[in-house]
Homo-oligomer: A and B are copies of this chain.
């Protein structure tokens, strides 16, 4: 099954290269009879056009990029599914680029895109990202970029987010309703908009319920699993131990539960827990986990749909197209 190119195909058909190309693109300039003949032989000889030649000439790649911190995370893998479902329908390919939460990686990836590798970008910024020059450079170079979930506030483009402030509020309020007085908040970034908004929601819920915030109960975790575990364990060993924990990210669920087990703290008896999480296993954890569940698939789908709108309509202004899709508080046994 050798690979054939359009020139060889044309020779086989006793046609010019241009006619073959036009026939394969169903051009009106080619007779129906010839089209049929071309399609038949092309299929028979297993002709597959070289995408790089097409991209080069057409100045578009039929690729979009998804730039995310991690793929081993329920939210992102579900979002990818949402994005892919749209891309497939449009005949586009999805290039998944991982930053591993490093700003440097993110910058390098976007920089590469300036060469034209992709026609558009969907991105959730890394935990380290606090500037946005790299994003603006890309956009001003003519490549549309849409944020989903983790955004750069200051970049003027469409942002598909969920109601982080409200969710942080709801999660905290729920703990308060369940009798908690001293709640901790697990964070992963000082700069991330979602972190800050969730934290603001947490503070607001405290204030609205006349509870004092305690700096020592705001824990900044990172990318090192061991360190995170130690930080959480430390938190739970404070003499003024928290009676409730809001985890603002999924990946802290396991260390949090493990720390409780290690310290023989009962959930929800000693500590009540609510996590921002899309884990399918939330309902079968020990105990089942109360979550803020984000509309991951839908956010991906919405972001992708918008991006394709921007790609098809020249002059489409992404600046006024932000969407907020609400998350849901799913109450389970870790808080009741």
Contacts and interface: CB of A to CB of B under 8 A. Distances in A.
Contacts of A114: 1, 3, 46, 48
A315 interface: no
A174 interface: no
Contact of A56 (B52, B61, B93, B261): B52
Interface string A265-284: 00000000000000111011
Contact of A51 (B1, B81, B115, B261): B115
Which of A138, A254, A280 has the most C-beta atoms of chain B within 10 angstroms of its own C-beta? A280
Contacts of A71: 71, 77, 80-81
Interface in A98-134: 98, 111-112, 114-117
Interface stretch (A29-37, A207-215, A285-293): A285-293
14 contacts: A1-B141, A2-B140, A3-B116, A48-B114, A49-B115, A51-B117, A52-B55, A53-B56, A71-B71, A253-B281, A254-B281, A258-B283, A261-B284, A281-B281
Interface residues of A, number: 54
Contact of A254 (B49, B52, B280): B280
A17 interface: no
B81 A141 contact: no
Contacts of A230: none
Interface string A49-76: 1111101100001000000000111100
A152 to B, nearest CB: 16
A88 to B, nearest CB: 9
A115 B51 CA distance: 7
A116 B72 contact: no
A13 interface: no
A142 interface: yes
Contacts of A53: 52, 56
A170 to B, nearest CB: 23
